Amino acid sequence: MGYTLQFGQVLTHLPYLLAGALISLELAFLSFCGGVVLGLLGAIGRVHGGRVVSGLVRGYVVFFTNTPQLVQIYVIFFGLPDFGILLSPFSAVLLGMTLNAAAYLVEIQRAGLASVHRPEIEAAEVLGMSRLQSLRYVTLPHMVRTLFPPLSNQYIIMTLGTSMAAIFGVEELTGRALNLNATTFRSIEIFTITAGIYVVLTIVATGLLSLVGRTLFRARIGWSL
């Protein structure tokens, strides 16, 4: 039996897919921001927290970077209810992605902390800055310029990784594509268009991040268009 491509049937559902893409972007943005904050705290703990705190952070990083993210979300979504903690599919995926991202961002941001030149820290001490002031006015600005490219690439990867949310019933882009496929049975057309939307999302995000990096931080991200 021959298969005739009929993209017209799927394009009528394009607004439905684009609405799912917005949910994908929301999930990626929130989990990335949470991961950056937790990762920064972890990086500071690794560098300045002493043996106990550093060891705890290292154990966290080892666990979350050496187990599949999907398994981590399964534990959160299906395991936490046994302790009376009920999360919606979106919240469970968001929490899982945040914790996973934080583990990788700990090491990225720890490298940023280590890249700060000692004379800059000593100059801040000579000016009478406290450790917190030195972190805010010296260390963090240097880290942002240094880490903007790897952080940008991590964000792009996380945007694509939101597709796993479909497994838990989140109607992001891939979830809506699966729903649409179940009603129209136009698999080739649906997933071709879905893939195209992902390509557009990553190209636009890469372009915007590159513009922000050059304009605000004089940094260039590692991907080229």
For the domain covering 7-216, report its CATH number. 1.10.3720.10
Q: What would the mean pLDDT of 157-168 be, rounded to a whole number?
A: 94
- C-beta separation of 27 from 162 below 8 A: yes
Domain ranges of the chain: 7-216
**Interatomic CA distance for residues 92 and 25, integer angstroms:** 16
Cβ-in-10-Å burial (0-12, 13-18, 19+) of 223 comes to: middle
Cβ-in-10-Å burial (0-12, 13-18, 19+) of 183 comes to: exposed
Confidence check: pLDDT of 222 > 60: no
- C-beta separation of 108 from 39 below 8 A: yes
Q: What is the pLDDT of residues 135-151, one digit of tens each?
A: 777 777 777 777 888 88
